[in-house]
Amino acid sequence: MEFVSHIPLLLPISELEPIVDFYIANRVMPKSLIGDALHLAYASYYGIRYLLTWNCNHLANANKRKHIRIINGRLGLSTPEIITPLELFTEEAEL
C-alpha cells in the first residue's frame, strides 16, 4: 500500500456517465459490461496514457482498437494504449 499511496485517485464525476452511455450506444461495449466501459471512460477522460486490462474481447483487442479510437474521436477524447499484463514482460537475455 505504501508503494501506491502517492498515486492520486481518479474521482468519479458526472461527466463519465454520458461517455459510458455513448460507448454502449455505439457498441464499444455491451451493456452487461458497464464496468469495462467505465474503465475505458476513466482512462480516456483523464488522458491516461496506458490502460492495463485482461479484457481481450472488448478492450485489448486489435479488432476493436480502431472502433474505440473513432468513438473517442467523436467524443473529443484521447484513446489510451490498451495493453495486457503480458505485454509488459521483458525477455531475459540467455546466458
pLDDT digits (tens, 9 = 90+) for 80-93: 999 998 887 777 76
**21 pLDDT higher than 70:** yes
- Give residue-wise pLDDT tens across range 42-82: 999 999 999 999 888 888 888 889 999 999 999 999 999 99
Q: Which three cell numbers stand for residue 20?
A: 459510458
> How confident is the model at residue 95, as a pLDDT?
61
Higher-confidence residue: 68 or 94?
Answer: 68
Is the Cβ–Cβ distance between 24 and 30 less than 8 Å? yes
Within-domain flag for 30: yes
- Structural domains counted in the chain: 1
Nearest partner of 53 among 35, 74, 69, judged by Cα: 35
Distance CA 79, CA 56 (A): 16
Q: Which three cell numbers stand for residue 31?
A: 451493456
Predicted structure pTM score? 0.82
Place of cell 485517485: 9
User: Reduced to 3 states, what is the DSSP secondary structure of residue 35?
Assistant: helix
Range of the domain at 23: 16-84
> How confident is the model at residue 9, as a pLDDT?
85
Within-domain flag for 24: yes
Within-domain flag for 48: yes
Within-domain flag for 2: no
